[in-house]
Chains A and B, each alone.
Chain A
Amino acid sequence: MRLSPNSLTGMVAAGLRTRITGLCSFAASRYWFNYRHMANALGMYRTVKRLGIPDSNIILMLADDAACNARNKFPGCVYANPGRHLDLYGDNIEVDYRGYEVTVENFLRVLTGRMDLSVPRSKRLLTDDRSNVFVYMTGHGGNEFLKFQDNEEISAFDIADAFAQMWQKKRYNEIFFMIDTCQANTMYSKFYSPNILATGSSEIHENSYSYENDNDIGVAVIDSYTHYILEFMENINKTSQTSMQDLFDSYNFDKIHSHPGVRTDLFHRPLHSALVTDFFGGVAQAEVLPPIPFSPRNTSESEHIVESGSMLDVGNHTDGGLSDLPLDGGLSQTPFLAALAGAKGDVLTRKLRAWGSSALVIALVGYVSVKRSSY
């Protein structure tokens, strides 16, 4: 069925308003030896996609290309476990920011929505005050900072301010912030905006460790904290009633080798009633609004547009006329020969100008020397 534009907009306004969960998943480290950071972010990406969030609501930032890296023995694949059972890259992936585009500036722009007009929708976090946002970051970090590309860093204050701006601009309902890096818990210590639940992999002065190596890939494939989170998530489906409290209770120092932290003071719901799927799942809640009255004028206008906008010229074309042009069809030698013939520019006028200017300078010098001798 085809809808003319006005009826389409009318329907969206009259019918549904969806609650979108946005996700910003994001690996900040460059270079092959940071494979595990790519795997961390991709693991999260796969999990939220499995739980029903579409690619259009996910902003995935990867600072380097691990899947098609020349050092990757398994092209187009990123594995998060040593047996290489599960390919996280898969056949269907959309990376929104990659390579050199992963910068602190772009990250903050995605969060705050301050973008150039021509930036496409797929690179924007299109959320509103009814959206739950899950932000996952991983990379190399330290006390209150996270390195981007081994080149610049983002500080805990930057993220806190970006979240505050998001709150003021009504860009979220609730945020769940998760970070896996060394001294990760310091990164959420500066938050001050409401409705943020934050968790991190390690305390201040404490490292986060990688989980396991794969001998064929040659580097560590995932970080410990993320590995256990993903393991926990594997048991969750779209209708799961597991709460955040259950997730945090699953933290275990003996396995992770660091002390994950949780910050709940900004979050106003009890953790046992906050479902994991509130953030990880693509929950669309329909809400019926009173319909906007349809005016006949609108329809007639739309009809008019259909008429005038038709670009399809109903010409007399036959299939026989569609014989194949050569693929590099237009290349012909005539323009080259024409250009070759016309290559000589206005050299003469330049020459004249140069002589004129030299003459002026020489005349000036001559005048001054004559003037002096006449004294």
Chain B
Amino acid sequence: MHLVYLVLILCFNLSRILALESREQFDEELTLRPLRDGKLGARFLFTTLLKGATPRRPEALLTMTIHYTLFPLALGQVLREYAVTELHLTLNAGNWNYGQWGYPDEPGVGTGAELWAWMGDGAPITIDERWQGLRNALAGLFCASLGSLDEQRTTSPSLTFQPEGSLPDWTTAHQLRHATLPSEHVCTENLTPFLKLLPCKSLSGIARLLNPHKLFDADWHGLGVHVRYREGAGVEVRLAFQAVFDPVRYSHDKRRDWSLHSVFDRSIDKACPVARSSKVRVGLPKDRYMISPDPSVIDDRFATYLVGAAGEALDVAMQWPEEPAFQYLLASGAEPLTDISVRRTLKGSSQSQAQMALVITNNLPVQVQASYLETMPWLLQFYLHTLRAYVDGVSRDDLVSIISYSPPVPHSRPTLLQAILTLPPNNTLQLTMDVTKTFLRYTEHPPDAQRGWDLPPAVIIPFSFGELLSQNHSMPAAAGPALETRPRRIYTPVMLVDLATPDFSMPYNVIIMSCTLIALIFGSVFNLLTRKFVVVLVDEPASKVSPIESATCG
């Protein structure tokens, strides 16, 4: 009897498996871009699409029917458990140099860890509880300290972090949770679980190139996990690894020639068999170069290789034969690669007060509106009334309008400041604001307190580009390379704030000394208040106390 049931179930499931196979599709792509400062930008992208799937409704029961062949199971379980509709996790190290490298292929380049998720409301378990569970689960999955992304770092800046996919049309609303941990390190232990999410691990396909010893030697590196729901398509997981290598540093004669082998110390020896497509795209520079082997497809911007097409190991190489050694561009002579450039600094030497300055340059000949987001831990508190805007040294407070501000609550909630800035064409806007640094309890300081605290990056999004006035700019073509004007996130570098530290060896001493002083004064006052005053004769022997003069009330 049991056996019949068992066989039935097996048959049923087997048919489902076969159906499922075709419903998951896996694509991988490696994009390599020589950058103008001689570096090489690399972006590994592994996309798994679960066709026809929808995110779990938070109020729906959690059922145990998970079967994936390509979709990462560990991640799928987390998504279902906490009913996450859209999830983005990035772990980056280094500052993305927008000026030299342009916009990144993956927009999330904030230093350290950044996690944001859109979750549907309406479950018996609240969003905040699920958010806590989610970050703990991801902390376990990716060996990162995401557990410390607690409510002291969590905000909901839904304007800046709009969903990348679509949100299912449920009766209950979706909410955003966002947190950053700029001090998070990224190392092999984060890459290991990342690779385990791939169907071919790092054994074949372009993932073969993910060699930790080379990746973590890069000038900038970061990994990202992005889950989104695409209406009509399904749930998509994008695993991305992005890095900026320095071939000039690796080469002995200061040349920027590179090959997969010189950069990754490996080559792609075989294709991942389950991948629907597996491509290597190489961005083509404007000057004279040589590329080998011959690409499968080539257009004016990219040369594309199909992995596994040739049947032999793929080792792409690019050379600049006419260039004896790479000449660095002067920073001043370089045209900006992004619509706007941002610099953020913290000024002042005091450990209690400081001034924050944001310098935004509009590189376009048109007026640009940009959104500005600060999610500041309560360690630094803004004096919003001191926010001033200057253009060319002239006060222009009308260029800033504050959209939302939630002040910080010590020990529990960070600041959220969202503003819209209007940037005059080809000009620089300077914002300054006084800030005050908080004083922490001694138990709240980290073990290396004197190092200071990393503050999360600000995020700027230029979103509205004014019309070009043709009479002012008769030669728009001469205004430099056409910049791609569409809303994109720009992260500022992180800041380090130096907070005043107490003496960590003093708790007992302070308790003893303060209490002694209080007890001394208290004792003396009550001594005076409670004891009677008497007059004594001091010239005679001390025994002759005269009681007659004893006085005062008591």
Give A contacts to B, CB under 8 Å.
1-2, 4-5, 7, 30-31, 65, 67-68, 74-77, 87, 89-96, 98-101, 116, 118-123, 148-152, 294, 296, 299-300, 302-303, 305-306, 308-315, 317, 321-322, 325, 327-333, 335-337, 339-340, 343
- Residue numbers in A under 8 Å from B184 (CB-CB): 99
| Interface residue ranges of B413-431 to A (CB < 8 Å) | 418, 420
- Residue numbers in A under 8 Å from B354 (CB-CB): none
A29–B495 Cα gap in the complex (Å)?
26
The answer to whether A121 touches B140 (Cβ under 8 A) is yes
Closest partner residue, chain B, to A100 (CB atom): B446
Q: Report the minimum CB–CB distance from A290 to chain B (whole Å).
A: 16
Q: Quick one: CB contact mask for B132-149 with A, threshold 8 Å, 1 for yes?
A: 110011011101010110
A4–B17 Cα gap in the complex (Å)?
12
Q: Report the minimum CB–CB distance from A123 to chain B (whole Å).
A: 5
The answer to whether A93 touches B188 (Cβ under 8 A) is yes
The answer to whether B6 touches A7 (Cβ under 8 A) is yes
The answer to whether A330 touches B63 (Cβ under 8 A) is no
A121–B163 Cα gap in the complex (Å)?
30
| Interface residue ranges of B181-219 to A (CB < 8 Å) | 184-189, 192-193, 202, 211-213, 215-217
The answer to whether B213 touches A76 (Cβ under 8 A) is yes
Closest partner residue, chain B, to A117 (CB atom): B133
A315–B163 Cα gap in the complex (Å)?
23
The answer to whether A296 touches B164 (Cβ under 8 A) is no
- Residue numbers in A under 8 Å from B153 (CB-CB): none
The answer to whether A336 touches B188 (Cβ under 8 A) is no
**Choice from B52, B136, B401, B446 contacting A312 with Cβ under 8 Å:** B52
Interface CB pairs A-B, < 8 A, 16: A74-B213, A76-B188, A91-B188, A98-B143, A299-B2, A302-B9, A309-B65, A311-B56, A317-B233, A325-B164, A330-B163, A331-B164, A332-B487, A333-B463, A336-B369, A336-B371
- Residue numbers in B under 8 Å from A98 (CB-CB): 143, 145, 185, 189
Tell me if B54 counts as interface (CB < 8 A to partner A): yes
- Residue numbers in B under 8 Å from A308 (CB-CB): 63
A179–B143 Cα gap in the complex (Å)?
25
Besides A30-B447, A311-B53, 11 more A-B contacts (Cβ < 8 Å) are A65-B185, A75-B216, A76-B215, A122-B143, A303-B9, A312-B20, A317-B232, A325-B164, A331-B486, A336-B463, A339-B404
The answer to whether B64 touches A123 (Cβ under 8 A) is no
A328–B56 Cα gap in the complex (Å)?
23
Q: Report the minimum CB–CB distance from B221 to chain A (whole Å).
A: 9
The answer to whether B51 touches A317 (Cβ under 8 A) is yes
The answer to whether A340 touches B489 (Cβ under 8 A) is no
**A94-B143, A118-B132 are known contacts. Are A337 and B216 too (CB-CB below 8 A)?**
no
- Residue numbers in A under 8 Å from B202 (CB-CB): 91
Tell me if B12 counts as interface (CB < 8 A to partner A): yes
- Residue numbers in B under 8 Å from A311 (CB-CB): 53-54, 56, 65
The answer to whether B403 touches A67 (Cβ under 8 A) is no
**A91-B212, A296-B2, A306-B65 are known contacts. Are A120 and B192 too (CB-CB below 8 A)?**
no
Tell me if B5 counts as interface (CB < 8 A to partner A): yes
| Interface residue ranges of B74-121 to A (CB < 8 Å) | 93, 105-107
The answer to whether A100 touches B64 (Cβ under 8 A) is no
The answer to whether B148 touches A67 (Cβ under 8 A) is no
- Residue numbers in A under 8 Å from B506 (CB-CB): none
**A76-B187, A119-B136 are known contacts. Are A335 and B192 too (CB-CB below 8 A)?**
no
Closest 3 CB pairs of A and B: A120-B140, A309-B63, A149-B447
Q: Report the minimum CB–CB distance from B203 to chain A (whole Å).
A: 11
The answer to whether A328 touches B54 (Cβ under 8 A) is no
Tell me if B488 counts as interface (CB < 8 A to partner A): yes
Tell me if B436 counts as interface (CB < 8 A to partner A): no
The answer to whether A76 touches B212 (Cβ under 8 A) is yes
Tell me if B230 counts as interface (CB < 8 A to partner A): yes
**Choice from B61, B145, B185 contacting A68 with Cβ under 8 Å:** B185
- Residue numbers in A under 8 Å from B8 (CB-CB): 303
Closest partner residue, chain B, to A329 (CB atom): B164
- Residue numbers in A under 8 Å from B217 (CB-CB): 75-76
**Choice from B141, B186, B216 contacting A122 with Cβ under 8 Å:** B141
The answer to whether B13 touches A2 (Cβ under 8 A) is yes
A302–B12 Cα gap in the complex (Å)?
12
- Residue numbers in A under 8 Å from B371 (CB-CB): 336
The answer to whether B232 touches A321 (Cβ under 8 A) is yes
The answer to whether B49 touches A322 (Cβ under 8 A) is yes
**A67-B187, A296-B2 are known contacts. Are A118 and B9 too (CB-CB below 8 A)?**
no
- Residue numbers in A under 8 Å from B141 (CB-CB): 120, 122
The answer to whether B165 touches A118 (Cβ under 8 A) is no
The answer to whether A336 touches B143 (Cβ under 8 A) is no
The answer to whether A100 touches B9 (Cβ under 8 A) is no
Tell me if B367 counts as interface (CB < 8 A to partner A): no
Chain B residue total in the interface (Cβ 8 A): 85
A340–B162 Cα gap in the complex (Å)?
16
- Residue numbers in A under 8 Å from B51 (CB-CB): 317
**A317-B52, A336-B420 are known contacts. Are A122 and B140 too (CB-CB below 8 A)?**
yes
| Interface residue ranges of B460-513 to A (CB < 8 Å) | 461, 463-464, 486-489, 504
- Residue numbers in A under 8 Å from B162 (CB-CB): 330-332, 335
Q: Report the minimum CB–CB distance from B397 to chain A (whole Å).
A: 15
A194–B404 Cα gap in the complex (Å)?
61
Q: Report the minimum CB–CB distance from A160 to chain B (whole Å).
A: 25
**A68-B93, A330-B163, A330-B164 are known contacts. Are A325 and B5 too (CB-CB below 8 A)?**
no
Tell me if B298 counts as interface (CB < 8 A to partner A): no
**Choice from A75, A123, A314, A315 contacting B140 with Cβ under 8 Å:** A123
The answer to whether A67 touches B188 (Cβ under 8 A) is yes
A90–B211 Cα gap in the complex (Å)?
10
Q: Quick one: CB contact mask for B170-183 with A, threshold 8 Å, 1 for yes?
A: 00000000000000
- Residue numbers in B under 8 Å from A330 (CB-CB): 162-165
Closest partner residue, chain B, to A342 (CB atom): B403
Closest partner residue, chain A, to B17 (CB atom): A2
Tell me if B67 counts as interface (CB < 8 A to partner A): yes
- Residue numbers in B under 8 Å from A294 (CB-CB): 2
Closest partner residue, chain B, to A31 (CB atom): B448
Q: Report the minimum CB–CB distance from B75 to chain A (whole Å).
A: 13
**A2-B14, A305-B63, A335-B159 are known contacts. Are A120 and B136 too (CB-CB below 8 A)?**
yes
A199–B489 Cα gap in the complex (Å)?
55
Q: Report the minimum CB–CB distance from A43 to chain B (whole Å).
A: 16
A75–B403 Cα gap in the complex (Å)?
43
Q: Report the minimum CB–CB distance from B274 to chain A (whole Å).
A: 16
A67–B189 Cα gap in the complex (Å)?
10
Q: Report the minimum CB–CB distance from B521 to chain A (whole Å).
A: 34
Closest partner residue, chain B, to A78 (CB atom): B188
**Choice from B9, B61, B404, B488 contacting A4 with Cβ under 8 Å:** B9
Tell me if B290 counts as interface (CB < 8 A to partner A): no
Q: Report the minimum CB–CB distance from B191 to chain A (whole Å).
A: 8
Most chain B CB atoms below 10 A, which of A30, A101, A328: A328
The answer to whether A95 touches B143 (Cβ under 8 A) is yes
Q: Report the minimum CB–CB distance from A257 to chain B (whole Å).
A: 29
**Choice from A96, A315, A328 contacting B489 with Cβ under 8 Å:** A328
Most chain B CB atoms below 10 A, which of A1, A91, A118, A296: A118
Q: Report the minimum CB–CB distance from B136 to chain A (whole Å).
A: 4
Tell me if B344 counts as interface (CB < 8 A to partner A): no
- Residue numbers in A under 8 Å from B519 (CB-CB): none
Tell me if B10 counts as interface (CB < 8 A to partner A): yes
A335–B403 Cα gap in the complex (Å)?
12
A68–B188 Cα gap in the complex (Å)?
8
The answer to whether B487 touches A331 (Cβ under 8 A) is yes
- Residue numbers in A under 8 Å from B185 (CB-CB): 65, 68, 98-99
- Residue numbers in B under 8 Å from A4 (CB-CB): 9, 13
Closest partner residue, chain A, to B276 (CB atom): A319
Closest partner residue, chain A, to B63 (CB atom): A309
